[in-house]
A and B are shown apart, each in its own frame.
Chain A
Amino acid sequence: MDAVIASLPEYWDGFLRTLYLSVISGIIALVVGTLLAAMRVSPVAALRGFSMFYVEVARNTPLTIIFFFAAIVLPRLGVKFEQFEVAAIIALSSYTAAFIAEAVRSGVNSVPVGQAEAARSVGMTFTQVLGFIVLPQAVRTVVPPLINILIALVKNSSVAGAFFVLELFGYGRQLSNDYGNQVLWILLGVAFFYLLITVPLGLLAHFVERKVAIAR
């Protein structure tokens, strides 16, 4: 226990880095994922095909391997980053985007076809139909799964600790090296700081869900 208290500065540093990775990757993943979902329902066959290919490859590849590509293979191909955090964000957001795309797509499917047909009949373009009519309704129905994906993202960010980024998990490993006799407390401390991010996210999900839920 005293090891945890003595290491609070390290925990805090790791906590901030985990939060940073999660927030930046989360924002990128939400944007890219929604774009991918839009491509998936678009009338252009090439876009549909690309989106399907990307989503299937990204969500069926283990995250560790995606990290390996981002942190080690990309630099080998000449794409170099000053900071390993960049590689971590690329890996996390490209992986999470695939799941977000699938969640948003399921939301789009839940919007009755009549909505889109009605919108088209008043002369809206595809972008307008999607942006003003379908997506706003779709997103409201998929708040719980979206938050689930973001919670998974926070936990997945621990993989970055194995790829040269000192976030919570990375510090956990360093502290277990320093205090070999208190590994249990060290790891409980790490878990506590993860809960500090994920539990509020879960509560937020409940709150948003009640606010925006639409009865169908």
Chain B
Amino acid sequence: MKSLITRRKSLLVAASAAIALSLSACGGGGSSTTPPVASASFEAGTTMAKLSEAKTIKIGTKFDQPLFGQKGLDGKPVGFDVEIGKAIAAKLGIAADKIEWVETVSQNRESFIEQGRVDLVIATYTINDARKEKVSFAGPYYEAGQALLVNKDDNSITKPEDVKGKKVCSVTGSTPAKTIAEKYGAEVVPAATYTACLEPLRNKQVVAVTTDNVILAGYVDKEPDAFKLASDQTFTKEPYGIGLKKDDTVFRNWINDQLEGFAKDGTYKKAWEATAGKVIKTAPELPAINRY
């Protein structure tokens, strides 16, 4: 009976600790990095004028990409993509709580833009030519790239050349798997998903897991005591852009201007530090905007 009481007590302690933790987490998230809402006026007929008039914007982002776009139990997505979205909305005179966040997964991003179900897509969205046929891209606002995830206590691997002849886990047939095998001579252990690679890494059956640094940083964020990025440097380039309706050049140019503005006034750096910067320490410079 006594043990039951103590157990209840410890449960209570654990519960209150959890509440305190979640409260403090809320407090942390509340520190807004977004600039104050601007009172802007735009030329009639532009997309900016329309959105600014409507006082709301639909932004597509990922809900399952930690540090970039992730929706927690409170229903509010957080991450670097989300911060960029908030900053752009603020420049349109739209408050952060008036943004309608829409989940866009990799397969539906183009069609959501084409159908007008979202005004913008900021969702770890790599700019490439096939996609440019359907949508237009502002940016890039960030350049992701392939990196290596290693065990926390492993200091022997800092660059891709270090895994030559060693076992590295990646998804069967994926581009990162090919790069690490063909260019750097690693022995690839094929997995069905990147998450499946974590256990062999933990068991030291492979020395590293490789894919985009953005995905790997998400794993480090979840288990900072077990894993780390081998280095902040990446060895391929995946420019992330902001997707919008094809050939809305005025809107695209305007977003590009805003991005350059964010880099100058520090919004960009602050957004990074509050989100992905917790894992990827080197703050990125805004890549050269591609005004095509």
* Residues of chain A having any CB pair with chain B under 8 Å: 71-72, 75-76, 80-81, 84, 161-162, 164-166, 170, 173-178
- Verify if B158 is at the interface (C-beta below 8 Å from A): no
- Residues A72 and B172 in contact, CB atoms below 8 Å apart: no
When each residue 137-179 of chain B gets 1 if its CB lies under 8 Å from chain A and 0 otherwise, what string results?
0000000000000000000000000000000010111100000
- Residues B203 and A175 in contact, CB atoms below 8 Å apart: no
Within the assembled complex, what's the spacing in Å between the Cα atoms of A86 and B275? 42
- Residues A170 and B200 in contact, CB atoms below 8 Å apart: no
A-B pairs under 8 A by CB, number: 42
- Chain B residues in 8 Å Cβ range of A80: 203-205
Which of B10-18, B189-197, B214-222, B278-286 makes up part of the contact surface?
B189-197
Offer 16 A-B interface pairs, CB within 8 angstroms, sorted by A: A72-B199, A75-B205, A84-B189, A161-B192, A164-B169, A164-B189, A164-B191, A170-B172, A173-B192, A174-B172, A174-B173, A174-B190, A175-B173, A177-B171, A177-B173, A177-B174
Using A170-B190, A173-B192, A174-B190 as known contacts, say yes or no to A164 and B203 having CB atoms under 8 A apart: no
Could you say which interface size class chain B belongs to? 10 to 19
Using A72-B200, A72-B203, A75-B205 as known contacts, say yes or no to A166 and B173 having CB atoms under 8 A apart: no
Within the assembled complex, what's the spacing in Å between the Cα atoms of A174 and B181? 14
CB interface residues, B 196-211, toward A, < 8 Å: 196, 199-200, 202-205
- Residues B172 and A166 in contact, CB atoms below 8 Å apart: yes
- Residues B172 and A173 in contact, CB atoms below 8 Å apart: yes
- Chain A residues in 8 Å Cβ range of B196: 162
Main secondary structure of the interface of B (DSSP, over half): mixed
Main secondary structure of the interface of A (DSSP, over half): helix
- Chain B residues in 8 Å Cβ range of A170: 172, 190
Within the assembled complex, what's the spacing in Å between the Cα atoms of A174 and B171? 9
- Chain B residues in 8 Å Cβ range of A166: 172, 190
- Chain A residues in 8 Å Cβ range of B172: 166, 170, 173-174, 177
Within the assembled complex, what's the spacing in Å between the Cα atoms of A84 and B173? 18
A3 to chain B, nearest CB (A): 12
In the complex formed, the residue of B with least CB distance to A76 is B203
- Chain B residues in 8 Å Cβ range of A164: 169, 189-191, 200
When each residue 180-192 of chain B gets 1 if its CB lies under 8 Å from chain A and 0 otherwise, what string results?
0000000001111
Within the assembled complex, what's the spacing in Å between the Cα atoms of A163 and B172? 11
Using A164-B190, A164-B200, A170-B190 as known contacts, say yes or no to A178 and B205 having CB atoms under 8 A apart: no
In the complex formed, the residue of B with least CB distance to A162 is B192
Within the assembled complex, what's the spacing in Å between the Cα atoms of A29 and B30? 60
- Chain A residues in 8 Å Cβ range of B205: 75, 80-81, 84
- Chain A residues in 8 Å Cβ range of B171: 177
Within the assembled complex, what's the spacing in Å between the Cα atoms of A80 and B204? 9
In the complex formed, the residue of B with least CB distance to A68 is B199
- Residues B203 and A178 in contact, CB atoms below 8 Å apart: no
In the complex formed, the residue of B with least CB distance to A165 is B190
Within the assembled complex, what's the spacing in Å between the Cα atoms of A176 and B202? 29
Known pairs A80-B203, A177-B172; list 5 more (Cβ under 8 Å). Answer: A84-B205, A164-B200, A166-B172, A173-B192, A177-B171
In the complex formed, the residue of A with least CB distance to B200 is A164
In the complex formed, the residue of A with least CB distance to B206 is A164
- Residues A173 and B173 in contact, CB atoms below 8 Å apart: yes
In the complex formed, the residue of A with least CB distance to B203 is A75
Within the assembled complex, what's the spacing in Å between the Cα atoms of A69 and B125? 37
